[in-house]
C-alpha cells in the first residue's frame, strides 16, 4: 500500500512512501493528505508532496505520477511536489542521497551513530533465537562496541556495513498535537535502528528527519502508526542539534465495524472511486464526516467549508469509522449542490456529454441530444434523483439519447384508444398553449384524459410512458415530455403508432 505519512506546514510536507505491489492513493492516505492540505490552507502554509522512494525493492514505476494525479483529481493539489518542483527540492528522496550520506557522516563523527558490519546471516540467527525464546527480535547492538582499529580494518577489507543510530535511554516527553504528552522509551524495547543501508540508501527514520529539517517543515501530521517512532526521531533531531517540527498523529480510519481498512477489499483505492463516477467532493466529505477535527458531522460540506471549520485541537484520538454504504447518498447530495451551481453545472454538462457520446455514439437519436441546452435540461430535471452522473447513461435512461422501439401492438394491450390518445397528445404538443413544465403538463394531461371514453388516467400514463421511453418505470410522463421536448414527443408517438 502507499502510506501517506507526513505533511504539515507553515511549510508543510506530505511524504509518500512507496511499497511493493500497489502504490496508489487509498482512502487512508487521502485523509492524511486532506488534513495536511487543510492545515496548510488554514495557516497560509505550503502543502508539500515528498516521495519517499528510498526502498528500491518496493518502488513502482508510475506510482509517483499516480499519487499526484489523484491529489489533483481530489482537488487538493500539492503546492510543491516532484512534478511541480519548488524551492526546497528535489522532492524525491532517491534524488537526495548525497544529503543523507553527509548527514550520516555527521552522526558517525559525533558518535551518535556507528557502523555495523553484522552479516545478514548473523541478524537472521538473532531473529530465530529470539522467536524460539518467544521474545521480540531486536538487534543486540554488538557493533556499538567495535574499536576504531577494528572498524578501520573492516573498512580496509571492503566489508559491507550499515549505519545504526545509537539509541539513548531516558527520552524526553513531547507534546503531540492530538495525543497530548507522549513518550516511548525506545532504547529499552528496540535495538539500534539502521539509518543508512548497505546500498547507501537511507531508511525512513533518517530521511524524514533530514528532509523535514532541510525543507523547513514546521508541522507534521501523519498516521498514528508513527506515534511510537516519534521519540526515536526526536533523538535523531537532538543528535543533529536541530529543532524538531510539531507532530500530530491522526487516529486510524477503520471500517464501520471497527475492522482495518484493508487493501484486500480492493475498493479503497482512489482509482476505483474515479472509475465508479464518484465526485471527489463527496469522497472528501465522507472521510471527514466520520472523524473529528470539525465542529460537528454534517453531510454536504464543501472543501471551503471544511477549511473554515477545521481545528486541529478538535481531532480526538478515537478511530474514525467509515461507512462506505453511505457514499451514494453523499454523492447524491454533492451532485445536487453542483447542478445548482451555474459554473459547476457546466462542467457536469460537458462530462455527461462525453459519457453519452461514449456509450451511445452513433446510435443517438440525432446530434441535438448532445447539445448543451438539452443535456443541461436533463440534469436539472433529474437533480436529486441520481447519485452518479453515469446513472443517466444507464439503460433505464437510454430513452433520453436513443428512440425506443415500441410497436402499436404493445400499446394496444394497454388501451384500445391508442390513436385517440396519440392524436390528443400530438395536438397538445403542437398547440401554442403547451406548457413546458412538468406541473403544467400534468394538468394538461388530466384534461386530455377527461376526453377519453374508456381509458383510465393510469393506463393513459402507462401507454405514454411506453411509447416515449420503452420503459414501464422511470420519471413521471410529464417530466419525460419536458426533457424530450415537443418535437421529439410527437416523433416518438407517430413512430410507435405506425410500427
Write the binding mask 247 to 286 for Zn ion: x where contact by CB under 5 A, - elsewhere.
----------------------------------------
Q: Which residue number, 84 or 142, has a Cβ lying nearer to Zn ion?
A: 142
State the minimum distance, in angstroms, from the CB of residue 123 to Zn ion.
8
Shorter beta-carbon distance to Zn ion: residue 116 or 339: 116
Peptide bond into 447 cis (omega under 30): no
The DSSP bridge partners found for residue 92 are 51
How far apart CA 7 and CA 211 sit, in angstroms, is 12
Distance, C-alpha 102 to centroid of its chain = 37
Distances (CA, A) of 97 to 15, 91, 93, 164: 16, 12, 7, 17
Q: How far is the CB of 184 from Zn ion (least distance, A)?
A: 23
Is there binding between residue 146 and Zn ion (CB under 5 A)? no
The one catalytic residue among 84, 197, 263, 423: 263
Alpha helices (H) along 200-318 = 204-214, 230-240, 270-275, 280-289, 303-309
Yes or no: say if 452 and 460 are a contact pair by the CB < 8 Å rule.
yes
Q: Are strands 253-255 and 320-322 parallel, antiparallel or unpaired?
A: parallel
List the x/- string, 79-118, binding to Zn ion by CB under 5 A.
-------------------------------------x-x
Q: Is 195 in the site for Zn ion (CB under 5 A)?
A: no
Least distance (Å) between residue 258 CB and Zn ion: 41
Which listed residue (4, 70, 143, 448) binds Zn ion by CB under 5 A? 143
Q: How far is CA 269 from CA 26, 28, 30, 265, in A?
A: 4, 9, 9, 9
The whole-angstrom separation of Cα 421 and Cα 415 is 9
Using the minimum distance from each CB to Zn ion, give the nearer residue, 143 or 389: 143
CA neighbor of 323 nearest in space, from 284, 290, 294, 285:
290
Q: Which three cell numbers stand for residue 233?
A: 526521531
Tell me if 194 contacts Zn ion by CB under 5 A. Answer: no
Residue span binding Zn ion (CB under 5 A) among the ranges 134-142, 226-234, 241-249, 433-441: 134-142
Q: Which stretch binds Zn ion (CB under 5 A): 142-150, 170-178, 209-217, 235-243?
A: 142-150
Q: Given its phi and psi angles, is residue 85 left (phi above 0), alpha (psi -120 to 50 degrees) or beta?
A: left
**Beta carbon nearer to Zn ion, 176 or 192:** 192
The size of the interface with Zn ion (CB under 5 A), counted in residues, is 4
263 part of the active site: yes
Nearest distance in Å: CB 109, Zn ion: 19
Nearer to Zn ion, 27 or 143 (CB): 143
Q: Which residues are catalytic?
A: 263
**Interface ranges with Zn ion (CB under 5 A):** 116, 118, 142-143
Amino acid at each position: 500500500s502507499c502510506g501517506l505519512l507526513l505533511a504539515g506546514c507553515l511549510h508543510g510536507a506530505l511524504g509518500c512512501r512507496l511499497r511493493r505491489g500497489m502504490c496508489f492513493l487509498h482512502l487512508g492516505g487521502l485523509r492524511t493528505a486532506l488534513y495536511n492540505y487543510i492545515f496548510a490552507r488554514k495557516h497560509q502554509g505550503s502543502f508539500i508532496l515528498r516521495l519517499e522512494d528510498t526502498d528500491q525493492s518496493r518502488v513502482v514505476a508510475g506510482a509517483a505520477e499516480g499519487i499526484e494525479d489523484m491529489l489533483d483529481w481530489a482537488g487538493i493539489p500539492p503546492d510543491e511536489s516532484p512534478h511541480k518542483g519548488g524551492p526546497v527540492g528535489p522532492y524525491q528522496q532517491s534524488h537526495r542521497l548525497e544529503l543523507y550520506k553527509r548527514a550520516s557522516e555527521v552522526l558517525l563523527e559525533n558518535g551518535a551513530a556507528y557502523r555495523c558490519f553484522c552479516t545478514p546471516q548473523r541478524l537472521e540467527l538473532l531473529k530465530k533465537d529470539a522467536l524460539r525464546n518467544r521474545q521480540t527480535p531486536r538487534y543486540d547492538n554488538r557493533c556499538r562496541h567495535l574499536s576504531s582499529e577494528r572498524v578501520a580494518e573492516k573498512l580496509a577489507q571492503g566489508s559491507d556495513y550499515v549505519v545504526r543510530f545509537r539509541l539513548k535511554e531516558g527520552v524526553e516527553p513531547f507534546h503531540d498535537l492530538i495525543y497530548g504528552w507522549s513518550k516511548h522509551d525506545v532504547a529499552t524495547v528496540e535495538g539500534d535502528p539502521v539509518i543508512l543501508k548497505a546500498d547507501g540508501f537511507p531508511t525512513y527514520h533518517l530521511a524524514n528527519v533530514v528532509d523535514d529539517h532541510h525543507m523547513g517543515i514546521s508541522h507534521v501530521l501523519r498516521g498514528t502508526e508513527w506515534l511510537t517512532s516519534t521519540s526515536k526521531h526526536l533523538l535523531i533531531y537532538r543528535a543533529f542539534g536541530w529543532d524538531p517540527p510539531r507532530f500530530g498523529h491522526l487516529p486510524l480510519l477503520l471500517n464501520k465495524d471497527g475492522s482495518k481498512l484493508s487493501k484486500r477489499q480492493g475498493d479503497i483505492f482512489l482509482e476505483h472511486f474515479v472509475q465508479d463516477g464518484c465526485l471527489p467532493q463527496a469522497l472528501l466529505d465522507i472521510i471527514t464526516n466520520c472523524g473529528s477535527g470539525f465542529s460537528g458531522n454534517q453531510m454536504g460540506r464543501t472543501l471551503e467549508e471544511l477549511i473554515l471549520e477545521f481545528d486541529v485541537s478538535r481531532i480526538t484520538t478515537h478511530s474514525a469509522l467509515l461507512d462506505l454504504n453511505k457514499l451514494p447518498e453523499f454523492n447524491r447530495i454533492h451532485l445536487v449542490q453542483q447542478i445548482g451551481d451555474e459554473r459547476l453545472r457546466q462542467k457536469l454538462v460537458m462530462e455527461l456529454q462525453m459519457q453519452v457520446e461514449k456509450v451511445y455514439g452513433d446510435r443517438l437519436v440525432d446530434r441535438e441530444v448532445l447539445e448543451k441546452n438539452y443535456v443541461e435540461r436533463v440534469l436539472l430535471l433529474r437533480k436529486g434523483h441520481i447519485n452518479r452522473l453515469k446513472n443517466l447513461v444507464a439503460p433505464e435512461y437510454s430513452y433520453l439519447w436513443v428512440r425506443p422501439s415500441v410497436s402499436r401492438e404493445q400499446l394496444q394491450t394497454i388501451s384500445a384508444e391508442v390513436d385517440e390518445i396519440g392524436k390528443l397528445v400530438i395536438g397538445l404538443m403542437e398547440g401554442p398553449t403547451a406548457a413546458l413544465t412538468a406541473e403544467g403538463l400534468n394538468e394538461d394531461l388530466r384534461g386530455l384524459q377527461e376526453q377519453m371514453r374508456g381509458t383510465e388516467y393510469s393506463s393513459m400514463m402507462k401507454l405514454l410512458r411506453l411509447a416515449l421511453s420503452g420503459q414501464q418505470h422511470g420519471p413521471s410522463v410529464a417530466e419525460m415530455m419536458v426533457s424530450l421536448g415537443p418535437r421529439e414527443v410527437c416523433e416518438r408517438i407517430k413512430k410507435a403508432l405506425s410500427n
